[in-house]
Amino acid sequence: MALLSGRSSALTVMSVRWLRAGAAPAVVTGNLLAFLLMAPFAFPLSLSGVEAADVGLIVYLGVFQVGLAYVLLAQAAPHARALDIALLLLLEPVLNPVWSWLALGENPGGLAVVGGACILGAGTYRALQGRRDAAGTGGGLM
């Protein structure tokens, strides 16, 4: 499963880069396909105990956390390298333990901290390398 997850993540980044300006329809199609494949596991849906605040929170997260993020990613794809896109996609799961710690006081495990530090370190390295490349003083990663 880990191998398939890594492969599908790489294919997502490659597809967004390959499609460039046409990435938005592909992202929408991919999310609809994911919904259709997972819907049988979500239904029958019990609405007992669901409050308006719960529905509002789900709509907010769907529109802003997922929808707006994908719109911005699709717009950035023609101007970004595949590595940059991959690192952007990894920021959310990396920062989730941080937000949980800050908001709820949950302590992330040691491996979560190490993994997050590796990804943030790679992103920082890439950003610094990109500045050197723009200044014409170093070779890039890609």
User: Residue 95 and residue 10: Cα distance in Å, rounded?
Assistant: 20
Domain extents in the chain: 1-80, 81-142
pLDDT value, residue 136: 64
pLDDT band at 100 (very low <50, low <70, confident <90, very high): confident
Please report which helix (H) or strand (E) contains residue 23, including its range.
Answer: helix 23-42
pLDDT band at 142 (very low <50, low <70, confident <90, very high): very low
pLDDT value, residue 9: 72
Task: Provide the whole-model pTM.
Answer: 0.55
Q: Which residue has the higher pLDDT, 43 or 110?
A: 110
Backbone angles phi, psi at 105, to 5 degrees: 75, 15
> For the segment 16-51, what is each residue's pLDDT rounded down to a tens digit?
777 766 677 777 787 788 889 888 888 777 778 888
User: Residue 34 and residue 8: Cα distance in Å, rounded?
Assistant: 12
pLDDT of 13 higher than 80 = no
